[in-house]
């Protein structure tokens, strides 16, 4: 284990992960990598490859676990990552984003307190997905007043009527 990966394993402890058939293979790879560097990984499924499963069956329970602080952060994977992101963001308290590059993986946490990363299992290769997950998990919310002010406005949207 390299020193940065050692540091990675000390910042957060409980990571939730979920995927449908489109992200099944990537999920299994990431579970192995996360476990190897010391995370406790809670796998919300799917636990077997089923070609016609539905991402909502796995992503939504993960999103509730993130919102309820049952896990420190979440990783949601479907074929493109888009459906997983849409479903996750329907749960109050979840701030999920589809990520395909490391800057946003880090900045989404630092500025927007992103607590769930969404990946496309058919879009992002395993090694690069691991780099994205590391950037996401190594980042911390800055807590700066201007960012906190924005988050307060976003949270208000979750309870406001149209």
Question: What is the reported pLDDT for 161?
Answer: 65
Assess if residue 162 is contained within a domain. no
Assess if residue 131 is contained within a domain. yes
Angle at 4 between CA 8 and CA 27, to 5 degrees: 50
Question: What is the reported pLDDT for 159?
Answer: 82
Question: What is the reported pLDDT for 9?
Answer: 46
Assess if residue 60 is contained within a domain. yes
pTM of structure: 0.89
Q: Are strands 96-98 and 116-120 parallel, antiparallel or unpaired?
A: parallel
Rounded to whole angstroms, the Cα distance separating 121 from 103 reads 19
Which residue in the list 26, 65, 78, 87 is annotated as catalytic?
Answer: 78
Assess if residue 24 is contained within a domain. yes
Q: What averages of pLDDT result for each successive group of 10 residues across the chain (162 residues)?
A: 50 91 98 96 97 97 98 98 98 97 96 96 98 96 75 77 66
Rg of the chain in Å (alpha carbons): 15
Question: What is the reported pLDDT for 162?
Answer: 67
Question: What is the reported pLDDT for 1?
Answer: 43
Rounded to whole angstroms, the Cα distance separating 72 from 154 reads 20
Within the chain, what is the greatest distance between any pair of CA atoms?
50
- How many domains does the structure of the chain reveal? 1
Assess if residue 88 is contained within a domain. yes
Assess if residue 84 is contained within a domain. yes
Question: What is the reported pLDDT for 10?
Answer: 54
Question: What is the reported pLDDT for 8?
Answer: 57
CATH number at residue 11: 3.40.1400.10
* Active-site residue, 78 included: yes
Question: What is the reported pLDDT for 11?
Answer: 63
Question: What is the reported pLDDT for 153?
Answer: 77
Which residues form the domain of 125?
3-157
């Amino acid at each position: 284990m390299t020193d940065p990966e050692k540091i990675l394993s000390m910042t957060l402890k409980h990571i939730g992960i979920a995927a449908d058939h489109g992200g099944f293979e990537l999920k299994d790879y990431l579970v192995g990598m996360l476990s190897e560097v010391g995370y406790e990984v809670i796998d919300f499924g799917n636990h077997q490859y089923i070609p016609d499963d539905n991402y909502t069956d796995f992503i939504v329970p993960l999103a509730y676990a993130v919102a309820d602080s049952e896990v420190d952060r979440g990783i949601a994977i479907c074929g493109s990552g888009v459906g997983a992101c849409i479903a996750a963001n329907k749960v109050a308290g979840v701030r999920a984003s589809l990520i395909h590059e490391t800057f946003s993986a880090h900045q989404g946490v630092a500025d927007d307190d992103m607590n769930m990363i969404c990946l496309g299992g058919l879009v992002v290769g395993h090694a690069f997905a691991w780099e994205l997950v590391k950037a996401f998990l190594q980042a911390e919310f800055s807590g700066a007043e201007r960012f906190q002010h924005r988050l307060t406005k976003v949270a208000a949207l979750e309870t406001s009527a149209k």
